[in-house]
Amino acid sequence: MKGKSLFQNLKWLGSASLISKPVWFLFLIYAARVLGPADFGAYLALFSLSLLLSSVLELGLDVQITQSISTTKENVLRLATQSILLRMATSVVLAFFGLGVFHFFYNDTYSSIVFTAAFSVGLIQFLLNHFRAIFRGMERLDLESISLLLEKIGVPVFLVFWLGAQPTFDFFLISLASALGVSLACTFILLILGVWRLHTRTSSRSVQSAGDLIRKAFPFAMMNFSLIWFARIGSTLIERVLTQKDAGYLGVGTRFLDALTVIPSTLSAVTYPVLCRITDSPRLFNDLCTLTSRIANATTLVIVGILYFFSEQITVLVFGDEYLAASSVVRIYSMTMLVLSQVFVIGAAVAALRLQHQANKWLIGSVGASIIAYVLLLPSLNVNGFAWLALLDQGLILASSLIAIQGSVSLKEPLINLSKGITVFILWIGVDWALHKVDIPFFGTPFTETYIPLTSLLVYVGFLTSLWWTGVIQYRDGYRFLHLSNRL
């Protein structure tokens, strides 16, 4: 696709994400309040376990199929068929894998119904992610947007009534798995229609075996395993080492992280197939990568400031008084969000340039360092400790991607922009800490009935002003992005 495809895809996926993500987040808030920290933490721990196990069998197919289809759309039917069959086969293996883990490790903790329902949620997500990767390869993000809306809006609406009728933990999990199954079936129908329509317009007789697809995907398998390991290992271990309630507190931070990284994740999803197409145009590639990094950094910093400086108020307002202890976790995850925004963008560029094998050399060492850190610190870790390790893990992922891509893309502007944003953020964290320590009565005045100190408001305004003054936030970036989309 050329011309307006980048902007059109951004409009489709961006609109769908901005509509569906808040609805999904509100549903999770509702579930967290109804279930309480313990059951909510158990659900997140089991869901994270299923994602960890699935990362072993993902084989790098999600990233590779997007790249393969985006560059050879005339082979879409054969490529999609091969990858879908491979994903379904690995899903069966994953199901048996889960049964074994339950028998040996979780049989005394959860009933078979609870474990099976929770594990099924991750299994369905395993299939959904692959179907959407094919949509991205076809650059039909309108179809991915419909799939996203079906999941993020249809499922919560369906579940609220079901959960309201019988708000028990096992009934919640069964309802969630059933509703996601319906979303999966609808997405599969959309996939069949989309692939067939593109195939009839751009068919080809060229042949590529499933073995070739797996071989090309292998470098991405390590990347995917590392990403999921770093993102989910804490949520899985904390329930086994501490308590389900602690897992619920950690889950509050991860829910904010998932919901509020919608802009950088959407940008990377839209730009990745385009980056795959323009690898032979270094200047265009560099401009798109740099601009996407700037926009992701600026929008994330605005959200990070709100989460950090008003963490207690937001946590209580959103999740309720039971989760007040999670406010410190929210502050740590707000910083993780800043790093993750660049992981999305730089990671997409690394994958498009097929430099993942170089990043993997560092990722393997990073995973090893992470395992050693967990082993050494596990006996003394609390909830905040798990959150800090998650921040460190994301930093290691970003470092490995930057090392891999240096020399292929100019990193000067993205790194300077990121450094300025982090410096401003740290500066105003110090100002906030100092003002709260001084305890000036006027600055402690509540601005609203929810008790938002005037100190926090002034600090946040100063933070935004500094971002604007240093050039981290610029209106012209949006215009540059629109102009660039017309050249692609």
Q: What is the pLDDT of residues 267-288, one digit of tens each?
A: 887 788 888 888 888 888 888 8
Reply yes or no on whether the pLDDT at 405 is more than 60: yes
Give pLDDT, residue 119: 87
Q: What is the pLDDT of residues 193-231, one digit of tens each?
A: 888 887 765 555 555 555 666 666 666 666 677 667 666
Q: For all residues of the chain together, what is the average pLDDT?
A: 80
Q: What is the pLDDT of residues 54-63, one digit of tens each?
A: 888 888 888 8
Q: Residue 410 and residue 99: Cα distance in Å, rounded?
A: 47
Q: Give the chain's domain count.
A: 1
Give pLDDT, residue 17: 74
Residue type, 279: T
Reply yes or no on whether the pLDDT at 92 is more than 60: yes
Determine the longest span between alpha carbons in the chain, in angstroms.
76
Reply yes or no on whether the pLDDT at 186 is more than 80: yes
Q: Residue 251 and residue 44: Cα distance in Å, rounded?
A: 7
CB 346 within 8 A of CB 402: yes
Using DSSP's 3-state secondary structure scheme, residue 406 falls into strand
Q: What share of the chain is helix, strand, coil (3-state, %, to 5)?
A: 85, 0, 15
> 398: which residues sit within 8 A by CB, 6+ positions away?
339, 342, 343, 346
Range of the domain at 301: 5-485
- The pTM of the full predicted model, rounded to 2 decimals, is 0.74
Q: Residue 462 and residue 328: Cα distance in Å, rounded?
A: 22
Task: Output the CA angle 75-360-334, nearest 5 degrees.
Answer: 100
Q: What is the pLDDT of residues 313-350, one digit of tens each?
A: 888 888 877 888 888 888 998 898 888 889 888 988 88
Q: Residue 64 and residue 83: Cα distance in Å, rounded?
A: 10
CB 202 within 8 A of CB 76: yes
CB atoms near residue 362 (< 10 Å): 18
Residue 103: both structure tokens together? 């028998």
Across the range 391-400, mean pLDDT stands at 85
Across the range 390-407, mean pLDDT stands at 86
- Higher per-residue confidence, 359 vs 461: 461
Reply yes or no on whether the pLDDT at 450 is more than 50: no
Percentage of the residues of the chain whose pLDDT score is greater than 90: 7
Query: What residues form DSSP beta bridges with 453?
Result: 446
Across the range 4-28, mean pLDDT stands at 71
- Higher per-residue confidence, 162 vs 21: 21
CB 108 within 8 A of CB 241: no
- Cα within 13 Å of Cα(378), Cβ side: 14
Reply yes or no on whether the pLDDT at 416 is more than 80: yes
